[in-house]
């Protein structure tokens, strides 16, 4: 397993082909979706059914599919509905959203690498529950860990956190509390020299280049698109680039081109501002003027 796994934890980081459920979760995530400023629409933190249906229509998803998905997601606890016909993220989705919400400031958590490693041991844990194993590996992948050996996950200790803070970040994102965490500063083993090769750095750098190209292309297209088309365009570009940012292992500059990553991040922050303006205008046309019932 590589750290380039497409992280669809709770559906917030949407897959390439949007489903009704993944679209809803992205729309309701004020952080994972660069374009939809839910926190800026009438001061609310949620969206109405009418707004969600209107947004879904941009992607060819009809109202019945959205309503069925809303019911299912609410039953699963991933979204919360109100009597007014509004929905927001539920507790399950909020866990991963709390990590994704840091994408704007993500470059600030890297620090100089002193060649030490964070190590997580999982080999002593039961392996008969596939759901728990998937949850564990999803959390480790999300934070840039790679499996060096069976039951031993590593990543460069090049972030600003202490070991305890890093462990707490993992726990908040779904990792159980019974893993063993430690820092390795010296290793007398030929295997340690191969740890830096656990990440597909060439593919990572290619993604940065593709993301930069997409941002530039979309920026030009937005100048001439109608509002609905501009909303769709900014959504799709934002989803792709933020997936690149949110799933990046944040490796040190000795392993990957961090200058290219930082350029991608800076341009995405600027693109985000334009996307928010577009979606604020688009959603304003569908925001209910009075209380709505489901």
**What confidence tier does 17 reach under pLDDT thresholds 50, 70, 90?**
low
pLDDT in tens, 108-135: 999 999 999 999 998 776 677 787 788 8
* pLDDT at 266 > cutoff 50: yes
Instruction: Label residue 206 by pLDDT band (50, 70, 90).
Output: very high
pLDDT value of position 105? 87
Confidence of residue 94 (pLDDT cuts 50, 70, 90): low
Residue 33 has pLDDT above 50, yes or no: no
Instruction: Just give the CATH number of 108-197.
Output: 3.30.70
Q: What token pair was written down for 38?
A: 């839910």
Measure Cα distances from 13 to 31, 40, 101, 103, 176 in Å: 10, 21, 11, 12, 22
Query: Using only C-alpha atoms, what is the Rg of the chain?
Result: 20
Report in angstroms the alpha-carbon separations of 202 from 110, 145, 207, 229. 20, 17, 9, 33
Helix (H) or strand (E) holding 238: helix 227-246
CB 73 within 8 A of CB 21: yes
Average of pLDDT values for 157-177?
87
Q: pLDDT at position 192, please?
A: 59
Determine the pLDDT at residue 92: 60
pLDDT at 290: 42
Compare 22 and 205 and report the one with higher pLDDT. 205
Q: Which DSSP category does 159 fall into?
A: B
Enumerate the domain spans of the chain.
Answer: 108-197
The dihedral through the CA atoms of 267, 270, 272, 274 has a sign that is negative
Q: Is the predicted pLDDT of residue 220 greater than 80, yes or no?
A: yes
37: confidence class by pLDDT, cuts 50, 70, 90 = very low
What pLDDT sits at residue 96? 56
- Inter-residue contact 182 to 192 (CB < 8 Å): no
Q: Strand pairing partners for 183?
A: 118
Which structure tokens are listed for 223?
A: 């100048």
pLDDT higher than threshold 70 for residue 16: no
Band of pLDDT at residue 78, cut at 50, 70 and 90: confident
Q: Sort 126 into a burial class: Cβ within 10 Å, 0-12 / 13-18 / 19+.
A: exposed
**3-class SS at 33?**
coil
Confidence category of residue 97, pLDDT binned at 50, 70, 90: low
């Amino acid at each position: 397993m590589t750290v380039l796994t497409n992280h669809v934890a709770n559906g917030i980081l949407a897959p390439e082909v949007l489903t009704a459920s993944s679209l809803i979760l992205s729309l309701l995530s004020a952080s994972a979706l660069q374009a939809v400023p839910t926190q800026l629409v009438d001061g609310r933190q949620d969206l109405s059914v009418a707004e969600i249906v209107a947004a879904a229509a941009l992607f060819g998803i009809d109202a019945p599919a959205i309503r069925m998905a809303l019911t299912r997601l609410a039953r699963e606890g991933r979204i919360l509905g109100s009597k007014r016909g509004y929905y927001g993220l539920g507790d399950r989705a909020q866990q991963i959203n709390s990590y994704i919400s840091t994408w704007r400031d993500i470059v600030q958590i890297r620090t100089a690498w002193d060649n030490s490693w964070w190590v997580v041991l999982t080999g002593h844990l039961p392996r008969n529950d596939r759901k728990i194993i998937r949850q564990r590996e999803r959390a480790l992948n999300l934070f840039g860990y790679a499996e060096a050996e069976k039951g031993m996950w590593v990543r460069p200790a090049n972030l600003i956190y202490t070991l305890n803070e890093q462990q707490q970040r993992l726990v908040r994102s779904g990792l159980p509390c019974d893993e063993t965490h430690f820092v390795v500063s010296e290793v007398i083993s030929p295997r340690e020299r191969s740890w830096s090769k656990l990440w597909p750095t060439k593919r990572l750098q290619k993604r940065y280049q593709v993301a930069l190209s997409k941002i530039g292309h979309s920026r030009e297209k937005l100048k001439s698109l109608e509002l609905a088309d501009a909303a769709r365009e900014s959504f799709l570009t934002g989803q792709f680039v933020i997936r690149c940012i949110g799933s990046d292992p944040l490796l040190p500059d000795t392993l990957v081109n961090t200058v290219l990553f930082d350029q991608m991040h800076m341009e995405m922050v600027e693109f985000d501002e334009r996307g928010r303006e577009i979606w604020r205008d688009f959603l304003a046309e569908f925001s209910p003027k009075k209380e709505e019932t489901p």
